[in-house]
Structure 1
Amino acid sequence: MKPWQIGTIGLVGLAAIVVGAYSSPVVLLIAAVVLALAVGVGWPHFLGIPARKTLAVLIGLPGAGSAVAATYVPAPAFLDWTPAFIAAGVVAVFVMQLIRGTGQAQRLESVLGSCAGVLLGCLGAGWIAASRFNGVREMLLVAAISAAVALLTGLLRWPDRVVAPLGIVLAGLAGPLAGLIFSDIAVIPAALVGVVIGSVLVSFRRLVILRGEALNVAAAISVAIAPVLAVGSLAYFIDKILIY
């Protein structure tokens, strides 16, 4: 699949999160769990590593568990369980590689890449934390709009040397604009959210381009959803540090 198609998948995942946030906690949880499992299933395909079914479980379940914990733990400890799920996923990946035994192909790539997948999947709980934080969803909306602008910029079939800086700049401008229109968030925190989110999303676009190989559907869905999940935690922590 081509980069613009992957960006479209990312937009669909982002829309699912926003719809869930403005519907009910249960709908948001279902969306977060489904997206985390989708990352788990497709990430081994994106990496091109063996033992894909087992690694899909080990990558997807920690992300789903982190989302469940972020939904039901008492405030303000929304992400207190997230490090535990990340650690459990990383340990499980190492144990699985030990069980595979010595001499197996791509063991180092499997360990490092799978641990990265666990981290990205678990960070999706940040969207739930952002939705629950202070009982308002202002930062979530600002982050979602910035992410949507960055993803839409990534759909342009222009050279990456043009699209990458353009996506960062436009996301950085979209954050303050969304903050002024839809919330009372100050310009600087909103701009910071936009720049950070834009940087993450265009970096993943570059990653897909550098890979240089055609991706199957599972891999494309995973690499499209993973950065969308990750920026949720970035928005939450910026909201908590600079605004609260």
Structure 2
Amino acid sequence: MKWWSIGVIGLAGLAAVVAGAYSSPQALLAVAVLTAVGVGIGWPHFLGIPAKKTLAALIGLPGVGSAVAAAYVPAPAFLDWTPAFLAAGVLAVFVMQLLRGTGQAQRLESTLGSCVGVLLSCLGAGWIACSRFNGVREMFLVAAVSAAIALLAGLIRWPDRVVAPLGIAGAGLAGPLAGLVFSDIAIIPAAVAGIVVGAVLVSFRRLVVLRGEPMNLPAAVGIALGPVSAVGSLAYFIDKLLIY
């Protein structure tokens, strides 16, 4: 697939998250579940590791469970079950690698990379937690706008030494602007959120550049939705630590 298609998929996933948040809790849960499934299916393809179908289930299911728990547990314990699902997913990955036996191809890369995939899959529950937190969606919008600017910067076919600072600076400026337009969030927390979100997204762009190989559709979906999933938990914890 074309390199820019990854950014487009990420923007589409981000738009679906925002639309789900402003539709209904069930719609946001459906988007979070689909995102976890997309990361689960696509991440093994992006890594180019064996046993893709089995690892897709081991990566995606913890994310689905984490999203469902975040949607239905009583406040304020929105992400209390996320570490348990994360631990279960990592344990399942290790057990699966043990069952494969010694001497299997890419065993270490498969184990470490799949554990990262489990983490990304589970972090998507943060979008639900951020939406439910205090019943206010200001930080949700700040994070979404910052992420959109960083993803748009990533579409530019310039070297990383130019795009990375541009994406981080753009997201850092978009955060306070979104805070001023859509809410009364202070400038500093909004700027911190924008900078952190921008840094995460441009880091994933670097992964795509370093891979340097053509990707199929599942791989593009996995690497595009992975950082979008991670931004949800970042927004929730920034909201909780700096604003609440």
With normalisation by structure 2, the TM-score equals 0.99
Q: Which residue does the alignment assign to 1:96?
A: 96
In 1, Cα distance between equivalents of 2:204 and 2:7? 10
Q: Displacement of 1:134 after TM fit? A: 0.3
In 2, Cα distance between equivalents of 1:85 and 1:2? 34
* Aligned residues with identical type, % of pairs: 79
Contact 1:179 1:186 in 2 (8 A): yes
CA RMSD between the two structures: 0.6
Any idea what the Cα deviations from partners look like across 1:89-123, whole Å, max 9, x if unmatched?
Answer: 00000000111111111110010000000000100
Q: Displacement of 1:158 after TM fit? A: 1.5
In 2, Cα distance between equivalents of 1:153 and 1:102? 43
Any idea what the Cα deviations from partners look like across 1:12-48, whole Å, max 9, x if unmatched?
Answer: 0000100000000000000000010010001111111
In 2, Cα distance between equivalents of 1:118 and 1:93? 9
SS at match of 2:157: coil
Any idea what the Cα deviations from partners look like across 1:148-179, whole Å, max 9, x if unmatched?
Answer: 00001111121221111000000000000000
Q: Displacement of 1:2 after TM fit? A: 3.3
Kindly report which structure 2 residues correspond to 1:2-13, keeping only aligned pairs within 5 A, or say none.
Answer: 2-13=2-13
In 2, Cα distance between equivalents of 1:163 and 1:5? 17
With normalisation by structure 1, the TM-score equals 0.99
Kindly report which structure 2 residues correspond to 1:130-209, keeping only aligned pairs within 5 A, or say none.
Answer: 130-209=130-209
**Matched positions, count:** 244
Kindly report which structure 2 residues correspond to 1:1-244, keeping only aligned pairs within 5 A, or say none.
Answer: 1-244=1-244
Contact 1:46 1:215 in 2 (8 A): yes
In 2, Cα distance between equivalents of 1:85 and 1:102? 27
In 1, Cα distance between equivalents of 2:167 and 2:131? 25
Q: Which residue identity is paired with 1:214?
A: P
Gaps of 5+ in 1: none
Any idea what the Cα deviations from partners look like across 1:123-152, whole Å, max 9, x if unmatched?
Answer: 000000000000011110110000000001
Query: Structure 1: which 4+ aligned runs deviate by more than 3 Å?
Result: none
Q: Which residue identity is paired with 1:49?
A: I
Contact 1:45 1:219 in 2 (8 A): yes
Any idea what the Cα deviations from partners look like across 1:178-208, whole Å, max 9, x if unmatched?
Answer: 0001001000000000000000000100110
SS at match of 2:215: coil
